[in-house]
Amino acid sequence: MIYLDNAATSWPKPEGVYQAVDDCLRHRGGNPGRGGHRLSLQAGRIILETRELLAQLFNITDSARIIFTGNVTEALNLALKGFLRAGDHLILTSMEHNAVVRPAYRLQDTGVEQTIIPCSREGRLDLATLAKNLRANTRLICVNHASNVTGTIQPIEAIGELAASKGIPLLVDCAQTAGILPIDVVKNKISLLAFTGHKGLFGPQGTGGLYIGKEIDLQPLKEGGTGSKSEVFVQPEELPDRFESGTPNTPGIAGLGAGIKFVLQEGLERIRKHEQALTRQIIEGLRRLEGVTRYGPNDLEEQTAVVSLNLEGWEAGELSYVLDQVFDIAVRSGLHCAPLAHATIDTLETGTLRISPGYFNTPAEIEVLLEALYSLVREKTSGRR
Amino acid sequence: MAKRCDKMAPEHNVYTVFTFVSTHQALKAEKVLKEEALKASIIPVPREISSLCGLAIRVDAQQRGQVEQTLRGKGVGIEAVFDFVPRTK
């Protein structure tokens, strides 16, 4: 199997991730933060360690301000619904994933106004347009750091500057970029950072979280047991307990910690360079094919390792099915849970075929993919004659 | 301010208990002290004390100043500090 669907879930994982999950389940299986026996403490230490690794990766001073959630979707729901109130105005972009679009849509029922800034066909956000759409009641700007459809990277540093100059908090969805591009909550002036564990951070599925800046007053979406302040019925104010009711996914968080360690050891630059080289190989290989429409920016520096395309004479779903069944190559087709992004690049009707290489893919594997596509096109062309 | 409690003293040495606002802070305190090579044990909060979190850190009373300074320096959220004095009988 050649796995090229890393924008959905990275696979395989670094060896240390498998080991950490196994070790956690076998040897550190207590309930973290509940009780003081050694197995519980061991579990608690795992959670602390992963939190501190995340703090290191994102330059967060106080790791207690990082909340674990089940995934980035839950983190984004918490950020949007826990922060916005009736009468507030939210700005988002047309490249957002449904993880933002749907909660934002629902928030309109509670009196939250929203403006969706249209991006260019390459998925780029224009800062001047963003600035023009700010209102007196704009309370939050929400930006997808990189699109899961086109890979388009938004200039979060410039967006952060603009937001900070107007005193508006910035929420960044870094599902596609954590572990690949540098993210610095101080430098990029990010107030809320929603991340997922199972993509670039190499963690297991079911891990993710939210960084909550000191300046943000956020309401929890759930209350319950935290292992602290048990005698009172009011949810504790202290972070992370305030937002972490219930037993966490400790084995998952153990794996995530090992994944982040791997990222820190390899270095973001090395990971990014490898993924860029594979992306370049795909893009250049596609140029030799007729009937390919490729989406997104035409510049490797402006995109992550995501190549979205359509091939003349092929429906994207059919193509991905054949690649999987005949050639043993895993890619994804469809709308990738981001209909607004597809409307932006004008593929809402067709969807796209998305090829997303990862750090563990090799140039030889990309060559096999390209050969498969060539042979499919040849077959179709000769079939027509 | 330190509170005194002479009820719970399993041994004759005076010792100090730090309580914390959350488990995160208690475990962070443990980690920070370990990094600084300061001897500390993580213990369940003694019953005489009311704390937000069920875990506490116990250190030798002579280390109290240094431990407190280290924890505060690293931004660990201390809730309270207690000195435990053994009964003189």
Q: Which chain A residues are closer than 8 Å to B43 by Cβ?
A: 36
- The pLDDT tens digits of the residues spanning B38-88 come to 999 999 998 888 887 889 999 999 999 999 999 999 999 999 999 988 665
**What integer best gives the mean pLDDT of chain A?**
96
The reply to whether residue A238 touches residue B22, judged by beta carbons under 8 angstroms, is yes
Neighbour tally for A121: CB within 10 Å:
13
Residue of B nearest to A45 (CA): B27
Residues of A designated catalytic: 337
- The pLDDT tens digits of the residues spanning A307-350 come to 999 999 999 999 999 999 999 999 999 999 999 999 999 999 99
The pLDDT, as a whole number, for residue A66 is: 98
Torsion sign (Cα): A53, A54, A57, A59 = negative
The pLDDT, as a whole number, for residue A231 is: 78
Distance in Å from the first CA to the final CA of chain B: 27
Question: Domain-by-domain residue ranges, chain B?
Answer: 3-84
Joined together, the tokens standing for residue A124 give 């780029």
For B3-84, the fitting CATH number among 3.40.50.970, 3.30.70.120, 1.10.287.310, 2.60.120.560 is 3.30.70.120
Whether the complex's predicted ipTM is more than 0.95 is answered with no
The reply to whether residue B22 touches residue A228, judged by beta carbons under 8 angstroms, is yes
The pLDDT, as a whole number, for residue B48 is: 86
**What integer best gives the mean pLDDT of chain B?**
86
The pLDDT, as a whole number, for residue A383 is: 66
Give the mean model confidence (pLDDT) for residues A46-64.
98
Question: Which domains does chain A carry?
Answer: 2-9+267-384 (3.90.1150.10), 15-266 (3.40.640.10)
Distance from CA of B89 to the nearest CA of A (A): 31
- The pLDDT tens digits of the residues spanning B17-45 come to 999 999 999 999 999 999 999 999 999 99
Give the mean model confidence (pLDDT) for residues A152-156.
98
The pLDDT, as a whole number, for residue B54 is: 85
The pLDDT, as a whole number, for residue A226 is: 85
- A18 and A145 Cβ atoms separated by less than 8 Å: no
